[in-house]
Chains A and B, each alone.
Chain A
Amino acid sequence: MTSTHKLQREGEIWAIGGGKGGTGKTFLTSCLGSFLAKKGRKVVLVDMDIGGANLHSFFGIDRPQRSLTSFFEMGSSLSDILVRTELDNMTLITGDIHSIASDTIKFSQKLKLFRQILKLNAQNVLIDLGAGSHLNTLDTFLIADRMIVVLVPEVIAIENMYHFIKNSLFRKVKLVLKEYGFKEVVQLVWDHRQDYGIHNLKELIDYLKDSFSFIGTILDAELSRFRVSLILNMVRTNQDILLGAAIKSVLQKYLGIGIDYAGHVEYNDAVWRSVRERKPFMLNYTATGCASNIAALADNILKGSEAELPGGVA
């Protein structure tokens, strides 16, 4: 979606994804939003978890009157369907759209949605992506200024996250080259990868760079901006915290992309309680370790800095 990047944008877009369901993406979107709003920033949250939208319930909102359904089916503009929250400077675009499956969103609708997201009057637009690596999810992830993935310290979450990032990167390479008139090249080379001795995405990118020097220049420039921020949720031990650094290393060495380990969030039953009570966590559980973890990592994402690791060797 490089072309939409050129549109004038108002605020900074953060997209929160990561592949696996149940890792706390929606919870963290609600928390990051509250944190930024409490800092005095103007925030809009967008629930793009199509089919499983529930971001509104993290703010105690029952059945929103307006949702993305109105945008897709009635042609409302995004600014017409903003829902208020208990924080004055934070509004919500809910995704309560039973009638819409992600597959049925037309390409033109998607572009229209992206254009309007970019024009939202806010300092930060936070987009909660659903689980999985659907094309619409990937494209939404790629319009963001801060591409954030959430995972928990377990093998399936790590595996899904790799899958999600690989798919995003593959999609990005395709979109970039499509823009320069090489729409088919990427898929073509990939489909015949065995002939070229290519085993994985990194080798595909290296092959494209080496074969066509101008493509190399383009990809170097575009992919140097492909940075992903990592949040490790439901952490129980110091060893878990260090997993974030290990994952960062592996992704950098394996895919050659930039990774920032934004930080971790410790496991805490207060989270579960706040979800059950339908009370915004960052407004009601400020004294928990969780809340300070979230504040610290949100600050890191804002500043583009990274988490300090606990001392010692992993």
Chain B
Amino acid sequence: MNRSALAPYYAALELKAGASLREVQNAYLRLRRLYSDQSIVLEPLDEEFTAEKRKAVLADIEEAYQKLLDAIHAEPPKAAALFPEAAAGGAGPDEAEPMAFAGLALRKIRERLNIGLDEISKELKLRIELLRNIEDERYEALPEETYLKGHLRNYAQYLGLKAERVIDDYLGRYRAWKKK
């Protein structure tokens, strides 16, 4: 999907084209809350801006968010073009490689989003060392696969990533290490 095809999705989230992934996520959460809940902003328009129309707005927001996330996840090099300010930071040769969600990739995404480990640790109630071990792929220090899977899911979702893909990629490498 090219840039101009994404324009309506940025517009639905009330963002300028090329907004950062973090901005996309914030806008999505803000708008979803706005149109899900009753508030003094919507109450006066109750009769005209009906529940049905709010639903339609929510569907638009949801679609826009998914489309923008897909654009990022489908082809990482293209994603760099979509999020120029994020890519400008650390565009090394390794970033042109197709991305698997290994520890390093996860850390890079997190850093691009400008999210600190302390924030995730606090929000997800996970020890910061655990998160560091995940990103550093210090497999020997990681918990059993069942637990690891749960942690990966929460962590991936927090970064706005597709959890299943992250889990598949990460556990694939983890299992390969275990076999050795």
Chain A residues at the B interface, C-beta cutoff of 8 Å: 153-155, 158-159, 162, 199-200, 242-243, 245-250, 252-254, 312-314
Q: How far is the CA of A248 from the CA of B41 in the complex (A)?
A: 10
Question: What is the predominant secondary structure among interface residues of chain B facing chain A?
Answer: helix
Residue on A nearest B53 in the bound complex, by CB: A254
Q: How far is the CA of A297 from the CA of B57 in the complex (A)?
A: 29
Knowing A252-B14, A254-B49, A314-B34, the reply to whether A162 touches B29 (Cβ < 8 A) is: no
List chain B residues, Cβ under 8 A from A247.
Answer: 41
Question: What is the predominant secondary structure among interface residues of chain A facing chain B?
Answer: helix
Q: Does chain A have a CB within 8 A of B176?
A: no
Residue pair B44, A159 in contact (C-beta under 8 Å): yes
Q: Does chain A have a CB within 8 A of B30?
A: yes
Residue on B nearest A166 in the bound complex, by CB: B48
List chain A residues, Cβ under 8 A from B33.
Answer: 313-314
The one of A162, A199, A246, A312 that contacts B34, using a Cβ cutoff of 8 Å: A246
Residue pair A249, B31 in contact (C-beta under 8 Å): yes
List chain A residues, Cβ under 8 A from B5.
Answer: none
Residue pair A154, B14 in contact (C-beta under 8 Å): no
* Residue in A200, A242, A249, A253 with the greatest tally of chain B CB atoms within 10 Å: A253
Q: Does chain A have a CB within 8 A of B42?
A: yes
* Residue in A158, A247, A252 with the greatest tally of chain B CB atoms within 10 Å: A158
Residue on B nearest A250 in the bound complex, by CB: B41
Residue pair A155, B34 in contact (C-beta under 8 Å): no
- Could you list 18 A-B pairs, sorted by A, with CB under 8 Å? A155-B40, A155-B43, A158-B40, A159-B44, A199-B48, A200-B48, A243-B41, A246-B41, A247-B41, A248-B14, A249-B34, A250-B41, A250-B42, A253-B57, A254-B45, A254-B48, A254-B49, A313-B33
